[in-house]
């Protein structure tokens, strides 16, 4: 494991901001003296009140390292201090404190045939990996399985579908190209068999509950436990 790039505190200016769905905000920053990241790394966003009080949270990078802007996708949690602010109050032109890139474990550099299994907002670091894979023509090296309650709960749903990700929705049916619907259900082992075959490494990202479900799915499909890398998004468990 080589040392991954790491950056100190800096500032980022919001250049673009949109709400792809009611619950999601996509933020694109120009980052002062940006250190290039590897797909899968994250940044810390720190908000600062006039009296000096601060709140900071981690957010995975969605953008390809080649993208001149840094892209984050944040899911608004009801009552969430930082995600709520980013969703409701942040605006183009605002300058936020940022630190990154951080993390050298949950990264994919196209160095091994891999499979990624992500749930909900856990798809964000996987999107960075797919963008990178696309640019370098490495799509065969990275197979993707994503799970969400509904289409609208899945950040980057259309982009992931174009990438060829296998999408499982658990609360609504999904229209499948060529006709028919995939009935709402978690992925069946048989559906992911081909995607998992040949993977030397697996990436799992999502809530604590999702991560244990996904690691079991991968282990059942024959992926060795120590080939699985997990990133969990801070849910209580």
Partner 1 sequence: MPITRGFLGKRRPERPDRLPPGQYDTGSGWPTLTAEATPKLDVEQWSMTVDGLVDSPQTWSWREIHALPESTYFGDIHCVTTWSKFDTTFTGVSVDTLLEAAGPRPEAKFVMAHSTTGYTTNLPLEDLTGGKAWVVWDFDGKPLARGHGGPVRLLVPHLYFWKSAKWVTRLELMERDRPGFWEQNGYHDRGDPWLEQRYQGDP
Ligand X SMILES: Cc1cc2nc3c(=O)[nH]c(=O)nc-3n(C[C@H](O)[C@H](O)[C@H](O)COP(=O)(O)OP(=O)(O)OC[C@H]3O[C@@H](n4cnc5c(N)ncnc54)[C@H](O)[C@@H]3O)c2cc1C
d(CA 42, CA 2): 17
Residues 4, 82, 208, 230: which binds ligand X (CB under 6 A)?
Answer: 82
Q: Is 42 in the site for ligand X (CB under 6 A)?
A: yes
Contact between 77 and ligand X by CB under 6 A: the answer reads yes
Residue 147 sits at the vertex; the CA angle it makes with 219 and 221, to the nearest 5 degrees, is 20
CB atoms within 10 A of CB 26: 17
Which residue carries 């609360």 as its tokens?
Answer: 171
On the 0-12 / 13-18 / 19+ scale of CB atoms within 10 A, 237 is exposed
Residue 74 touches which of partner 1, ligand X, none (Cβ within 5-8 Å per kind): ligand X
Q: Is 237 in the site for ligand X (CB under 6 A)?
A: no
Return the number of the residue (179 or 237) whose C-beta is nearest partner 1.
237
The number of residues making up the chain comes to: 237
How near is the Cβ of 120 to partner 1 at its closest, in Å? 16
Q: Select the residue interacting with partner 1 from 18, 32, 36, 81 (CB under 8 A).
A: 81
Among 28, 34, 37, 57, binds ligand X (CB under 6 A): 57
Asked whether the beta carbons of 176 and 182 are under 8 A apart, the reply is yes
208 vs 40, 117, 162, 166, 199, CA distance in Å?
18, 13, 28, 21, 23
96 binds partner 1 (CB under 8 A): yes
**Binding residues for partner 1, total number by CB under 8 A:** 51
**161 membership: H or E segment, kind and range:** helix 157-163
Separation CA 149–CA 186 (nearest Å): 9
C-beta of residue 40 within 8 angstroms of C-beta of residue 107: yes
Question: What's the DSSP call for residue 4?
Answer: P
Applying CB under 8 A, which part among 16-24, 161-169, 183-191, 229-237 lies near partner 1?
229-237
Per rule CB under 8 A, is residue 15 in the interface with partner 1? Answer: no
- Shortest Cβ distance from residue 121 to partner 1 (Å)? 15
Q: Which residues, 209 to 228, sit near partner 1 by CB under 8 A? A: 211-212, 215, 219, 225-226, 228
Query: Which residues in this chain contact partner 1 in the complex, by CB under 8 A?
Result: 1, 3-4, 6, 8-9, 11, 46-50, 53-58, 79, 81, 84-85, 89, 91, 94-97, 99, 102-106, 204, 208, 211-212, 215, 219, 225-226, 228-232, 234-237
């Amino acid at each position: 494991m080589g040392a991954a790039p790491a950056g100190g505190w800096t500032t980022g200016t919001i250049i673009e901001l949109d709400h792809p769905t009611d619950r999601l905000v996509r933020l694109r920053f120009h980052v002062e003296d940006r250190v290039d990241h590897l797909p899968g790394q994250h940044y810390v966003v720190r908000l600062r009140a006039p009296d000096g009080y601060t709140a900071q949270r981690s957010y995975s990078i969605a953008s390809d390292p080649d993208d001149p802007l840094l892209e984050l996708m944040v899911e608004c949690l009801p009552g969430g201090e930082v995600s709520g602010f980013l969703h409701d109050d942040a605006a183009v032109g605002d300058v936020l404190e940022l630190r990154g890139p951080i993390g050298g474990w949950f990264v994919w550099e196209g160095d091994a045939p891999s499979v990624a299994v992500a749930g909900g907002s856990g798809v964000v670091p996987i999107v960075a990996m797919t963008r990178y894979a696309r640019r370098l023509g490495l799509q065969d090296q990275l197979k993707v399985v994503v799970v969400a309650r509904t289409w609208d709960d899945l950040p980057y749903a259309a982009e992931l579908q174009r990438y060829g990700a296998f999408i499982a929705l658990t609360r609504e049916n999904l229209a499948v190209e060529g006709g028919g619907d995939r009935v709402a259900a978690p992925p069946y082992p048989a559906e992911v068999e081909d995607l998992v075959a040949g993977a030397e490494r697996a990436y799992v990202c999502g809530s604590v509950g999702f991560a244990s479900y996904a690691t079991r799915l991968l282990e059942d499909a024959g992926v060795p436990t120590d080939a699985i890398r997990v990133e969990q998004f801070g849910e209580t468990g």
